[in-house]
Structure 1
Amino acid sequence: MVDSPNMADLLETDDPGFQHVLSCVFGIQNHESRTYLVLLDHPGSTVAELAEVLDRDRSNVNRSLTTLMEKGLANRQRRLLDPGGYVYQYTATPLPEAKGLLHDALDTWVETVHERIDDFGPDSTV
């Protein structure tokens, strides 16, 4: 089952919540947007810590984090452990910056739609 909302879903929703907007605009799945929101409240978390909070498998959380990093919604830092080795800690992109990314992505989409409308005419292809 795919739970990745798209722009059409957003346009058809009368009162979308922030998580729904996040999923639609960035083309991410609902569990990925949920991971972002949880990460906002748990900065510096490891995959294992997030998996426990989200009640999800670590491999799934790791994939969600990879997607969030690709979209610019999360960052990863390596922390050295005293007995040796390291662990990755993840932090959400601050909410004001994420909102800016959302606005930019949505503005780009709207501009493209306006261009398609303006370019349409008798010589256009459907």
Structure 2
Amino acid sequence: MSEPEIEDLVGDSSPSFEHVLSCVFGVRDHESRTYVVLLNNPGSTIAELAEELDRDRSNVNRSLSTLLEKGLVERQRRLLDSGGYVYQYTAVPLSEAKERLHAALDEWVADVHDAIDGFEPEEL
């Protein structure tokens, strides 16, 4: 199954937040769901997220890697009293995600407008 793309939003008059996030940032639906769960559970570990999402840890880890690459999640290392460490993940604030969504959509719309303006009769 291919990743949702921004063009998938065209014609959808009331898309869900997760669908918009998936289409605009090119992430899969389960990655968008991971972001939303992190909004409500900041500082979660992979194990905690795996339980909350009912997914195995390796899948959650891959989702988090993608979200980190997209700048939607932050990771902090916490030292454990027993030695070692664990990573805790927190979603960037919703307001920041919304700003990034608006900026990405505005850029896409500008590109489409430029494409329209560039159409010439011999290309049609």
TM-score, length-scaled by structure 1: 0.93
Per-residue CA deviation, residues 104-123 of structure 1 (Å, 9 max, x unaligned), is 11111111111111111135
Which structure 2 residues correspond to residues 98-113 of structure 1 after superposition, within 5 A? 98-113=97-112
Counterpart in the other structure of 2:82: 83
Task: State the match for 2:115 in structure 1.
Answer: 116
Aligned residue pairs total 124
Root-mean-square deviation (Å): 1.3
Give the fraction of aligned pairs with identical amino acids, expressed as a percent. Answer: 67
Match of 1:39 in 2: 38
Looking at structure 1, the residues matched to 94 and 2 of structure 2 have their Cα atoms a distance apart, in angstroms, of 23
Structure 1 CA distance for aligned equivalents of residues 4 and 13 of structure 2? 14
Structure 2 unaligned spans of 5+: none
Give the ranges of 4+ consecutive aligned residues of structure 1 lying more than 3 Å apart after TM superposition.
none
Q: Where does structure 1 lack aligned partners over 5 or more consecutive residues?
A: none
Structure 1 residues 8-19: aligned runs within 5 Å: 8-19=7-18
